[in-house]
Structure formats: structure tokens, C-alpha cells
Amino acid sequence: MNRCHLGHNLKKWRLRRGITLRELERKIGLKKYYLLKVEQGLHKGTPNIWIRLTKELNVSLEQFASDCTESSVETVKYNLKKERIIPPDIGKI
């Protein structure tokens, strides 16, 4: 079973960086309650939000999605490119 749960990974990387939900709320401008729901998998978040989160946590998309299969990471990259949030020449896994 694929455990590609980006919300779980958000919590894992946030805790590794020693950042509280309240601190993340202040840094990226999203409500703590919303971030908690993303961590719990109850909200998906937009591609733009995921880019902001990975930048704030100083983690690459590949690192962030490390629990995901390669096809899941490629799907996330495709969606980000489609939304024109990341350039089409992003590095390969």
C-alpha cells in the first residue's frame, strides 16, 4: 500500500525543523487550524500552498515526498507544472 500522505510528511518535516503550527501559521499566512487539517489529510492543499510549505521548511519536493512512490511524485510535479508554479525543466528524481 502506498503511504503517500503529504499531510503526514508535512508534519514529519515541520517537526524535524522544530517549527510549531503557530510559527508556520505566521510564516506562510495560513491559519493553524487549516494547517492541522492538511496534516491530518482532511484538506489537500493547493499546489501553491505545497510550494510555499516546502520552501519554508527548506526541503525539496523529492525529499518531502520521500514516502511516496515515484509515480506519485511525478503526478505532484505534473500538477505543479500544469498550474505553472514550477518550471517545466525541474530536475528528475
- Structural domain includes residue 91: no
Per-residue pLDDT of 63-88, as tens digits, reads: 777 766 555 556 666 656 655 555 44
This model's pTM is above 0.75 = no
Number of structural domains the chain divides into: 1
CATH number at residue 49: 1.10.260.40
- Alpha helices by DSSP H, listed for the chain, are 6-16, 21-28, 32-39, 47-56, 61-64, 70-82
Whether 31 maps to a domain, the answer reads yes
Structural domain boundaries, residue 24 = 6-82
In a domain, 29, yes or no: yes
**Does residue 87 form part of some domain?**
no
pLDDT digits (tens, 9 = 90+) for 8-42: 889 989 999 999 999 999 999 999 999 999 998 88
How many residues would you count in the chain?
93
What 3-state class would DSSP assign to 62?
A: helix
Question: What's the Cα-to-Cα distance from 6 to each of 13, 50, 89, rounded to whole Å?
Answer: 10, 9, 23
